[in-house]
Each structure stands twice: as structure tokens, then as C-alpha cells.
Structure 1
Amino acid sequence: MPLVTLVTNVPKEDMPEDFDDQFISAVATAFNKPERAVVLELVAGAHIVRGGADKHVRGAHLMVAAGVVVLNAEHNRGYANKITEAVQRLLKIDKDHILITFHGLEAANVAAKGETFQHILYAHKLEQSKMEQE
């Protein structure tokens, strides 16, 4: 379940009307996950300033969180490439002004529906084991 926070100085009104759908689709494709598994938190029109001569350019910072099993040096490079391409295409931001940070999540530290993923995964494995024994 990729969780993406996208902070950009691009105003919401300058984004494609279907930005959310297109971006979620791109992330789902990058991670080979169904779209329903992707969560996007969008902060548009943020105050982002880049130091130096080009400090008032379009920019974006993305924080991508996913399971520690999914994130690693080899895979992150592919994710970064696909996500950067989507941001460039959809928001017209130069790749030099796109920063992505990846955060690995332990199953015990993430919860949905009132249960941690560690408990959900354990219950699922237990159920599969019972079905295999029958």
C-alpha cells in the first residue's frame, strides 16, 4: 500500500482536472499494485523556495511510504523514475526540482480498520494454512 504525500508549489487550479486519478494510476503501475491500494495526500500551492538563482521555479517534494519489503535500493530507483516521469508530465516540473524520499514501514507500525498490518497478515497466513490443511 503506497502512501504518497505530494507537496508542490503548483496551485491546484493549474493542475489537470483529473490529476488525482492520473497520478494514482502512475503510482499503482510503478508499484504493480491496484489503484485502490494507493493513498495520495496532495498539498498544492505550498510555499516552496529553492535556494540559488532559480529559487522561484515549480518544485515538488514527494514522501513515499510503503512496506520495508517493497522498498529497497534496487526497486526505489525504478519507483523514482516512474513517479518523476508522472510529476514531470502532469505538473510540468523539471526533474531537477523533484525530490522523493522513501520511508519503509514496518507492518506493526501501520494500521487500517482498527488493526495493525502485522495482525492482519498473521491472521491471513493462519487462514491460508488452515485452508491448505483441509
Structure 2
Amino acid sequence: MDSVTFDVVLTVLRILIAVAFIAMGVNHFVPRSARTMAAMIPPWLRPDGRVTPLTLVYVTGVCEIAGGLGLLFSPTRMIAGVALVVFLACVFPANAYAARHRERFGALAVPFVPRLIGQIVLAALVLLVAFF
């Protein structure tokens, strides 16, 4: 693959990943989705009452939107990529909790191993589009 083709593929991939993060972030503000995501936060990760799980959902939504937008602008691309990888690691316990409680979360409860593999692949793709 020549460098022009690689740049085009990378740009398209960067836009797709950014749009996906932005869309997922916006979804954090849809009331029904937000309530479900709040329920996915494991009890052992819930703050001591000063910050509600719903507030954490809103904060993570803002993080996803900011990270997605950051990938689109070259001055912020690398820091956004690193921040999104940290973000993916931070939200993984909620996804793992949902995976253990499939009867409660239905389709959102992707089984643990496929979710882990997906998170790793997504993190690798984020770093690829952030650093190249």
C-alpha cells in the first residue's frame, strides 16, 4: 500500500472511530440509555454517595464526545488517543459487571472474553489513528 492510500485509509478510519465515540457519548444523555448505563456501574465502583452513578454516566459521555472530537484535530489527536485508551480501561469494569449479569442487561451484556478482545482491538485502533 502506498503512502497516499495509507493516509486515506487512516483518515477514513480516524473519522469513523471519532464519530463512533461521539455517537456513543451522545447516547449517554439519552435518558433510557443513561439509566441502563448507570445500573451497569458495579456496586464496588460507586462513589460514597457524593457522586451518583448517573452523574458518572454523564461525565463518561462528555469524555467520549471530547475524545472523539480530539481525534479529528491534529493538535489534540495524540492526547485524545491516549485519553480514550485510558477511558476504555476505566469503563471496562462496568462492561465486565454487565457481562456477569446478562439476565439484567440483555444485549448490552456482551460476554466477557469478546468484550475484552473488542476493547483491546478498539484501543489499538485508537492509538493507530492517533499516532499515525
Same-fold call, TM > 0.5?
Answer: no
Q: Which has the larger radius of gyration?
A: 1
- The TM-score, its normalising length taken from structure 2, stands at 0.29
Q: Which has the higher strand share?
A: 1
